[in-house]
């Protein structure tokens, strides 16, 4: 069963209670795993922004809709991805992710910049523009 969850800040997340997981609103967001990191990020022909998140993380839920909007707005220019840190611990460890949400921007397979926390959309837009 899919349910729309509204929190106090009026952020919306679609939740699949049968699977116990959040559903990304934008079909343009790529769901990464430790196994797909190499092919999706290191070998990408466009810059990649990864949102390191977890289902229990309130700030991750808050920034989720912003990440979805960025995927729509920067379609074809930047690949927007999400990586669940609980299900895929190797990649966050490789990049020293200690707090979530952490968003890391890659270009040509190398880290360009990163931010930690639920930052405003304009800050993420500025981050992305560094790689364009």
Q: Report the catalytic residues.
A: 57, 60
Cα–Cα distance, 28 to 82 (Å, whole number)? 11
Contacts for 111-119 with beta carbons within 8 Å, 24 or more apart? 112/47, 117/59, 118/59, 118/60, 118/62, 118/63, 119/63
Cα–Cα distance, 36 to 127 (Å, whole number)? 23
Q: For the chain, what is the radius of gyration of the CA atoms?
A: 14
Which residues touch 6 (CB under 8 Å, ≥6 apart)?
A: 12
């Amino acid at each position: 069963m899919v349910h729309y969850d509204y929190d106090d800040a009026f952020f919306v997340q679609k939740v699949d209670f049968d699977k116990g997981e959040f559903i990304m609103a934008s079909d343009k967001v790529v769901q990464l795993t430790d196994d797909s990191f190499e092919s999706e990020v290191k070998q990408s022909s466009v810059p990649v922004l990864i949102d390191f998140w977890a289902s229990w993380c309130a700030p991750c839920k808050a920034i989720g809709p912003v990440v979805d909007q960025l995927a729509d707005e920067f379609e074809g220019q930047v690949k927007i991805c999400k990586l669940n840190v609980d299900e895929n611990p190797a990649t966050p460890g490789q990049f020293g992710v200690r707090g979530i949400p952490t968003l890391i921007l890659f270009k040509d397979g190398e880290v360009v910049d990163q931010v930690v926390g639920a930052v405003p959309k304009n800050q993420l837009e500025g981050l992305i523009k560094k790689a364009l």
